[in-house]
Amino acid sequence: MLDQDADSDPTRFYQARERATAASMVGMLASINLRIAETIEVRKGPVAAYPTFLAADTQARQLQLMGLYAHTRVHIAECLINADDQPLPGRPRPGAPSEVDDLIAEAFALGEKSKPTPWAKLFLAMRAWYHGDSISAIDLFDESLRSLQGEVHVMPWWGVWALLRVVADTDPEETFGPIELTGHHLNWAARGFAAAVTDVRGGRTAAESIAEAEYHARHTPYMRHLLRTIVAPVLYAAGVEAALGWLREADAFCSAAGERALQRRIRYDLRTIGAKVPKASTATVPPHLARLGITPREAEILRLVNAGLRNAEISHRLFISTRTVESHISSLLEKTGRASREQLPLAGTAED
């Protein structure tokens, strides 16, 4: 799977692909495409990575690279799971659960003839978790990843598994094991979020542990949102107000990225903690604004304020009353903590 670099930077894989293409190393090209897809996945999500996973899958099949093909079959199943009720690019319909199960079974069968893929069921674990079934998710993760115990953990999904177990009240030291085996930077991030859960359960501040986790996940937005979502309900219940903003931000990210399965879980968690669940897509709200609870209409008005329009001009543009515009701007000032419209953040720029 992915290497242990601090940011999962795909640049060197793109460079390697150029060299492999120039040298007509078609087998190597398939393997490099898989690595590129994995880096896209942790940054932008499996749906964004699907075209590259598909390219690697097609190349592996055509070249009869059975070990690699088993690997890519699992990732195609993962992409279908994450797209949920929406079709992936180039596909006429969403993937049915039976199609996902068949792909996983095919990967196991291929693995028996070449390179085993005991970890393949981890995406069935994620499917269960997306649907709110954490117990089945942990059981499937246990079945998939126990064989990795005692190894350096270069697979970031190992950290997801360990974090789910800690949230379910398993001892973090037992779950994560020796620190020298943590491996991938996202597993370090998971370890930091697990420490935050342990902190709040012990009545301590979690600020330092959260900062550590955020540092390790800073270059991989999709996986940062996933890890935050796992711990958000526990931290929010313990008084960490930022956790609600995490869920709002993740919801907006998933709307824009087409990550319907993770969004399903995010909205499940919002309902669980008693927070308001967006009625429609939040794709038009940048994640840094969604974190503050800014609505699609407020984001639309903010863009016009950023463009220098006055209230009357905004009213005319949107066919609403000036009083309604004033109300929205007042709400924007309150949610962002700014004193005047001139100080409002830019709608299209992430802010810390």
State pLDDT tens for residues 151-201: 888 899 999 999 999 999 999 988 998 999 999 999 999 999 999 999 999
Does the structure show a pLDDT above 50 at 3?
A: no
Label residue 5 by pLDDT band (50, 70, 90).
low
Label residue 2 by pLDDT band (50, 70, 90).
very low
The share of the chain scoring above pLDDT 90, in percent, equals 63
pLDDT given for residue 86 in this prediction: 93
* Cα torsion angle, 116, 24, 48, 156, sign: positive
Helices 207-216 and 221-237, axial angle in degrees (round to 10): 170
Are 350 and 287 in contact by the 8 Å Cβ rule? The answer is: yes
Distance, C-alpha 237 to centroid of its chain: 22
Q: Which element (helix H / strand E) includes 81?
A: helix 66-83
What value, to the nearest 5°, has the Cα angle with vertex 278 and ends 272 and 282?
A: 130
Q: What is the CA radius of gyration of the chain?
A: 22
Does the structure show a pLDDT above 60 at 4?
A: no
Least confident of 22-31, 57-66, 165-174, 314-323: 314-323
Q: Which two tokens stand for residue 107?
A: 């990967």
pTM: 0.84
The residue-averaged pLDDT of 322-347 equals 88
The share of the chain scoring above pLDDT 70, in percent, equals 96
Domains of the chain, residue spans? 1-116, 125-280, 284-352
Q: Which two tokens stand for residue 71?
A: 């690997």
pLDDT digits (tens, 9 = 90+) for 85-140: 999 989 999 999 999 999 999 999 998 888 778 889 999 999 999 999 999 999 99
pLDDT given for residue 307 in this prediction: 86
pLDDT digits (tens, 9 = 90+) for 288-321: 888 888 888 888 889 888 888 889 988 888 888 8
C-alpha–C-alpha distance, residues 185 and 9, integer Å: 12
pLDDT given for residue 351 in this prediction: 46
CATH class (in words) of the domain with range 284-352:
mainly alpha
Q: What is the CATH number of domain 1-116?
A: 1.25.40.10
Which amino acid appears at position 209 of this protein? S
Residues 6+ apart with CB under 8 A from 104: 73, 74, 77, 120, 121, 123, 124
C-alpha–C-alpha distance, residues 302 and 304, integer Å: 5
The residue-averaged pLDDT of 220-248 equals 96
Does the structure show a pLDDT above 70 at 280?
A: no
Does the structure show a pLDDT above 80 at 349?
A: no
Least confident of 61-65, 189-193, 348-352: 348-352
Does the structure show a pLDDT above 80 at 348?
A: no
Does the structure show a pLDDT above 80 at 209?
A: yes
Label residue 1 by pLDDT band (50, 70, 90).
very low
Label residue 27 by pLDDT band (50, 70, 90).
confident
C-alpha–C-alpha distance, residues 339 and 224, integer Å: 31
Q: What share of the chain is helix, strand, coil (3-state, %, to 5)?
A: 70, 0, 30
Does the structure show a pLDDT above 90 at 346?
A: no
Mean pLDDT of the chain: 90
The residue-averaged pLDDT of 23-27 equals 87
